[in-house]
Structure 1
Amino acid sequence: MSRVCELTGKGPMVGNNVSHANNKTKRRFLPNLQDVTLQSETLGRAFKLRISNAALRTVDHRGGLDAYLAAAKDAELSPKALKIKRDIRKSSDTAAALEA
């Protein structure tokens, strides 16, 4: 399982452990990934995603999964998140066509 956030694209970074004697050894900084289930109001169903804690806070701040995906850049999203975004857009376009 890759250590990449499905919504933001955040992945591991590299750096150094620096000892008191100033010895440097390579280390990895891993993102704080969580397995969460997010609800889509437009589609009326839940999706299981592996996202970073920062992305989860951003989803809450923007008002839910639908609003987050509407504002997100396609290049950052995983293929699974892109499919959810397309389904939401298609569903909302269909609803708008039915109202008109």
Structure 2
Amino acid sequence: MSRRCDLLDTGPMSGHNVSHAKNRTNRRFNVNLCNVTLPSETLGQKYKMRISAATLRTVDFKGGLDGFLMGTKNHKLTDKAKKIKKQIVKAKADLEAANA
């Protein structure tokens, strides 16, 4: 399983370990991935995802999965997240059509 975030496709970065003598050796900065289940209020479903801790904080700040997906541009999202966002947009449109 790859070390990538399921929402924003954040992956590991590379850099250097730098010793006191300024010797540089290559290293890898892995993403802090968390296994979470995020509910969608609009769809009434729960989605199991493996997302980074930074993304999880952003999801909480934006008011949940629906608010996060609606406020994020499509080119930043993964294919899985785009499918969920498309379902949310369709469900909201159907709800508005039923109310009108």
TM-score range, shorter chain: over 0.9
Secondary structure of the residue aligned to 1:4 is coil
Does residue 1:53 correspond to 2:50, yes or no?
no
What's the CA shift for 1:64? 0.6
Q: Distance in 2 between matches of 1:96 and 1:2?
A: 39
Map 1:20-39 to 2 at 5 A: 20-39=20-39
Q: Which runs of 5+ in 2 are unaligned?
A: none
Contact kept in structure 1, 2:70 and 2:85, CA below 8 Å: yes
Q: Which amino acid aligns with 2:50?
A: R
- Using the TM superposition, give the Cα deviation of residue 9 of structure 1 relative to its aligned residue in structure 2, in angstroms: 2.5
Render the CA deviation track for 1:26-85: whole Å, top value 9, x for unaligned.
001111111110000000010011111011111111111000000111111111111110
Unaligned runs of 5+ in 1: none
**Aligned length, in residue pairs:** 100
Q: Is the 8 A contact 2:7 2:80 kept in 1?
A: no
Aligned residue for 2:98? 98
Cα drift, residue 8 of structure 1: 2.3
- Runs of 4+ with >6 A deviation: none
- Equivalences for 1:58-97 in 2 at 5 Å? 58-97=58-97
For residues 7-33 of structure 1, the C-alpha deviation after alignment (integer angstroms, 9 at most, x for no partner) is: 223211110001122211100111111
Aligned counterparts of 1:73 and 1:48: Cα–Cα separation in 2: 21
Give the percent of matched residue pairs that are identical in Structure 1 and Structure 2.
55
Indicate the RMSD between aligned Cα atoms, in angstroms.
0.9
- Cα pair 2:5 2:51 within 8 Å, conserved: yes
Normalised to the residue count of structure 2, the TM-score between the two structures is 0.94
For 2:6 and 2:72, how far apart are their aligned partners in 1? 12
